[in-house]
Amino acid sequence: MPTPSTAQSLRTTPEGLLWEPSERWVRGRKGDVTVVDSRHPVLVWEPGVPVPLYAFPRAEVREDLLRPAKNPPVGTHTGSTVFYDLEVAGELLENAAWAFPADDLAGHIAFEWFQRTGRGLDHWYEEEEQIFVHPRDPHKRVDALPSSRHVVVEIGGRVVADTRRPVLLFETGLPTRYYLPREDVRLDLFRPSDRHTGCPYKGTAEYWSWHGEHGGSDVPPDVVWSYPEPLPAVGAIKGLLAFYDEVVDITVDGERLERPVTPFTRTPR
C-alpha cells in the first residue's frame, strides 16, 4: 500500500483511508448493463488492504439501480455506514455498493468486484482495456526481464526444473517469481488443474498440481502456474511456468533461496 510520502497526490482521511484522483475513464458493468461510467474516479486504499478500489461521483453512477441495503454488513469496509443493494434486470445483488462516511469522499459510491469478492459488478474497463479482480495500483511496478541465471527448482529433494533461460518477474510487494520454459520443467510430474485466476497486471492464469510419486507430500495444490495470453506489459512470460517460492525449494546461481513469507505461504489459493 502506498503511503503519503510516496506520492504528492495522495490524501489521508481521519478514518485512515488513502485516496487520490485518477484520470482514467472507468466503466463497470453487470452483464450487459453499464452501472458506472466515470471520467472522474478516485482510487481508495483501506487500512491494511494492499490493493486499491475505485469510488465514483454519484453523477457517474446509475443510482436508479441502487436500493438501501436490506441486510447491511458490519465491519466490511472502513467506516462504511451506508450500503446499497443493486437491482439489475430483475436480479438483486445485496451489498454491492457502499458510501464512505469520510468528508473527502462525500458524494462518491464504491462497488464490489465479482472476481474479487464473489458479488458486485462482473466486468470492468479502464479506457478500452478490460481489467480484473481490482484496479491497478499506479504506485506498483511489474517488470518481466529475460535472464541467463541458472535456476533449479526442487520438490521433496527432487529436481523438477532446471534452466538457464528464465524470465524474472519483479512485482512490488511480492517475492521475485521465476518463469521457466516448459521444456526445462518436468511437467509430467504435475497434473493440470481446473483453477483459473485473473490478475490486473498479468492476465488470466492456468494451474498444475504436484503428482510426483516421491516427496512433496506437503505441497499444496496449484503450485505451478502459467499465463498463456499475458497482458502486453509482461508479454515475456507468455506460456512460461512459475512455482510458488513459498512452498518449493529454488536455487539461483548456486544459492538456495529462503522461502519467503507471504499471504501464499500456507496455501497458494
- In this structure, the number of other CB atoms found within 10 A of the CB of residue 162 comes to 15
Structure confidence by residue, pLDDT tens digits, 78-102: 877 799 999 999 999 999 999 998 8
Domain limits, CATH 2.170.150.40, in the chain: 11-131, 142-256
What is the CATH number that goes with domain 11-131?
Answer: 2.170.150.40
- Predicted local confidence at residue 5, as pLDDT: 43
Architecture (CATH level 2) of domain 142-256: Beta Complex (2.170)
pTM exceeds 0.85: no
- Predicted local confidence at residue 266, as pLDDT: 57
Task: Profile the chain (269 residues) by mean pLDDT over runs of 10 residues.
Answer: 57 92 97 97 92 96 97 83 93 94 92 89 94 92 97 96 98 94 97 93 95 74 96 96 96 97 66
Structure confidence by residue, pLDDT tens digits, 108-129: 999 999 888 888 999 999 999 9
- Predicted local confidence at residue 8, as pLDDT: 55
